[in-house]
Amino acid sequence: MPSCRLLPAALGLLVFATESFGAEKVRFNRDVRPILSDTCFHCHGPDEKERKGGLRLDVRAEALKPAKSGATAIVPGKPEQSEIINRIHSKDADEVMPPDTLHKNLTTAQRETLKNWVAQGAEYE
């Protein structure tokens, strides 16, 4: 019966290994809010007078609504359908966000963080 005692230990190691090597959970307050605050909220945040395109990214319910164009900024779990992800990866100067004129270019790591956050369900805190 010694093998029966090893089974719980083996399962514990498997769970630990899966959590250690899997993609870390992206947290809104820790990982996403600082990016959006620095690069997006000026035009897509709480200030209604400064808001562009009627898009508000600081409130989840607003970010999930389809825009007049029919595009939706954030589609939880579907980064390929999320306009925010398409825009931050765009090579078109007329579409890329944030616009080059703001001099707030996103790093590759920041783009990946946003993409992973949307893929993980785009939870707000």
Stretch among 69-73, 111-115, 118-122 having the lowest mean pLDDT: 69-73
Do the Cβ atoms of 118 and 79 come closer than 8 Å? yes
d(CA 92, CA 45): 23
Q: What kind and span of H or E run contains 106?
A: none
| Predicted local distance difference test score (pLDDT) of residue 22 | 57
Taking only the tens place, the pLDDT of each residue in 47-61 is 999 999 889 999 999
Whether the CB-CB separation of 27 and 34 falls below 8 Å is answered with: no
Q: Give the model's confidence band at 69: pLDDT under 50 very low, under 70 low, under 90 confident, else very high.
A: confident
Tokens describing residue 2: 């010694």
Q: Which residues contact 99 (CB under 8 A, 6 or more apart)?
A: 93
- Mean pLDDT for the chain overall: 87
Q: pLDDT tens for residues 83-97?
A: 999 999 999 999 999
